[in-house]
Structure 1
Amino acid sequence: MTDPVAEVVSLLKPSPSISKLVTGGGQWLVERKELGSPFYCAVVEGQCLMTITGREPIVLTAGDFVLVPEIFSFTMSSLEPPPRGALAQRLETSPGVFLLGDSSAPAEVVAMVGHCAFGSDDKTLLLSLLPEVIHISGEERLMLLVRMINDETRAERTARDMVLRRLLEVLLIEALRSTGSAAAPPGLLRGMADPLLAPTLRRIHADPGRSMTVEALAQDAAMSRSTFFDRFRREVGVAPMEYATGWRMTLAKELLRKDVATAEIAQRVGYGSASAFSVAFTRHVGKPPGAYSRQAVTA
């Protein structure tokens, strides 16, 4: 049966952007504003401080991995940051290798840092299903994957870009499944951790073309309508039919980009006719399927 988490990651279309090895000594601070690119960091040695706007600071130590899929402003710094407004000392000692802070001070942290991009134009919906910040300790597989991405970025091997895309997909999936799903905020991971809701989510993803109502989904989950509705909204963060419609439209956009006929898309995503699908798509997306398809082709 379809794995919703893997499907979301695949539809996000992650692609490589920047990967670098960073060493910090003395007092240093790097600020990232809302640049729009997902960020990850694996601490190889030592410690540093990560402060995301609106959240408590996180002390990252050797073996820690952090992923920020969404757009946030944050700083990375030494445990004792320099005064606000102080210029960050940043030296590129070799391609993709950076020294932060005082070059004469002993290294207090070594970390592998990377940015990537999501190619999906529906990434807002897809990212809303995932945790805003993922912080994991002691997962050697994640550290190994970041090392492989870092190494592949430096090399000029055959099919480098394809390998990097696949490694990024595996990194994201590994980070998501390493997360304590039941303790995650409302979203897909938390829904998939619920034994009564996970089968429903798999069915929605596996067969978006079947007829769906809250009553039918509740019956499949062996719950009353009200109990199912409340539980789904609490764990997944949206109402059942809102989730199903959002997922159908995400798939419809993907099919339109592949120039699949509107009538076939309507059938595959659960609408009785091309006209019914067109009305729903226009209401959800803000433009009719034909206009979306033409824009996608010229983009």
Structure 2
Amino acid sequence: MVDPLAEVVTLLQPGARFSKAVVGAGSWRVSRSDAGQPFYCVLLEGACRLVVDGHEAIELRSGDFILVPAAYGVAMSSLTAPSEGAAETPPVALATGEFRVGDQDGPTDLRMLVGHCTFGSPDASLLVSLLPRLIHVRGEPRLATLVQLVKDEFHERRSAREVILTRLLEILLIEVLRSSAGTTASPGLVRGLADERVAMAIRRMHESPTRPWTIAQLAKEAALSRSAFFERFNRALGVAPMEYLLAWRMALAKNLLRRKEGNVAEVAQHVGYSSQSAFSVAFTRHVGLPPTRYMREQPDA
């Protein structure tokens, strides 16, 4: 059976580009704005509050993992935040390589890893649009095991520590992206796959992207009426079924064109278009340039 999330993750090529170990104590608040960079946080000890632009505040506890595939504004604070007019408390670099927030003396009550991941695919923005805007994972045994490994590596300071941490974080990212049960996710593929009826339709689209799907056919696959399916799909993924199908077809097309696996007419057929001209119009509208030009501008493999 086709695994839609595995296909998206494989094309995304996630990796841990940058991580920063942070310890804290007392009252503190920091914020930053990054132009769409994927942000993650692993809470190893303690608790804190996180606010991502466009979302309600989230209280994070030890073992929690947050992934925001395209973050723009992120603010973090102690549970008892400083007063409204108080200045932010920027992290202070320590000799150990860690950063400390809040009180600079005495024992700490917070330990976390924060950073940015990368999506190696040149089509990352298109693929990220299929994912939830925010994923908060709590109470997942497999993730708890991985977080514990990160925590142990964080504490031990053994040789090759940075290499191991990078690999563990990459595995964490993939595990988070594929987690659905027990995950608090905003609308997107993860949430859609957690709904058995909607998931069936998504799998059918991924199994047969060339099929001329209609709402009625997809509703039948999901064993729902057309109206119930359309509303349920929209609520789970945040986009209409045909919009999701178009985004997935364009992601496949870009990957094929980039790898120069066939000419434009062959790629059009491979992603469900019987007419090269219809494919070219759809591709140009969705991607911003014609497929012939897109393929021409890709470097040779």
TM-score bracket, shorter-length normalisation:
0.7 to 0.9
- What residue is the counterpart of 2:273 in the other structure? 271
Which sections of structure 1, spanning at least 5 residues, go unmatched?
Answer: none
Whole-angstrom CA distance in 2 between matches of 1:234 and 1:264:
34
Distance apart, 1:92 and its partner CA: 3.0
- What residue is the counterpart of 1:138 in the other structure? 139
Which sections of structure 2, spanning at least 5 residues, go unmatched?
Answer: none
* More off after superposition, 131-140 vs 261-270: 131-140
Whole-angstrom CA distance in 1 between matches of 2:5 and 2:283:
24
Distance apart, 1:165 and its partner CA: 8.0
Distance apart, 1:24 and its partner CA: 0.6
TM-score normalised over the length of structure 1:
0.83
Whole-angstrom CA distance in 1 between matches of 2:140 and 2:37:
24
| 1:167 has 2:168 as partner | no
Whole-angstrom CA distance in 1 between matches of 2:159 and 2:260:
36
Distance apart, 1:167 and its partner CA: 1.8
> Secondary structure in 1 aligned to 2:80?
coil
Distance apart, 1:289 and its partner CA: 0.8
Distance apart, 1:204 and its partner CA: 0.4
- What residue is the counterpart of 2:190 in the other structure? 189
Paired AA for residue 183 in structure 2: T
Paired AA for residue 126 in structure 1: L
| 1:61 has 2:61 as partner | yes
| 1:198 has 2:202 as partner | no
> Secondary structure in 1 aligned to 2:132?
coil
Q: Aligned pair count? A: 294
Report 1:33-112 matches (<5 A). 33-82=33-82, 83-95=85-97, 97-112=98-113
Whole-angstrom CA distance in 2 between matches of 1:101 and 1:169:
28
Distance apart, 1:7 and its partner CA: 1.8
Whole-angstrom CA distance in 1 between matches of 2:179 and 2:197:
24
Paired AA for residue 14 in structure 2: P
Whole-angstrom CA distance in 2 between matches of 1:235 and 1:89:
37
Distance apart, 1:90 and its partner CA: 0.8
- What residue is the counterpart of 1:286 in the other structure? 288
Distance apart, 1:178 and its partner CA: 4.0
| CA RMSD, Structure 1 to Structure 2 (Å) | 3.2
TM-score normalised over the length of structure 2:
0.82
Sort the Cα spacing of 1:292 and 1:92 in 2 relative to 1 into closer, same or farther, 3 A.
farther
Sort the Cα spacing of 1:17 and 1:279 in 2 relative to 1 into closer, same or farther, 3 A.
same
Distance apart, 1:140 and its partner CA: 4.4
> Secondary structure in 2 aligned to 1:63?
coil
Paired AA for residue 72 in structure 1: Y
Report if the CA contact (8 A) 2:200-2:222 is conserved: yes
Sort the Cα spacing of 1:288 and 1:149 in 2 relative to 1 into closer, same or farther, 3 A.
farther
Paired AA for residue 187 in structure 2: P
- What residue is the counterpart of 1:120 in the other structure? 121
Q: Where in structure 1 do 4 or more consecutive aligned residues deviate above 6 Å?
A: 159-162
Whole-angstrom CA distance in 1 between matches of 2:15 and 2:225:
43
Deviations 1:226-273 (A, max 9, x none): 443343333332222222111101110011111112232122101114
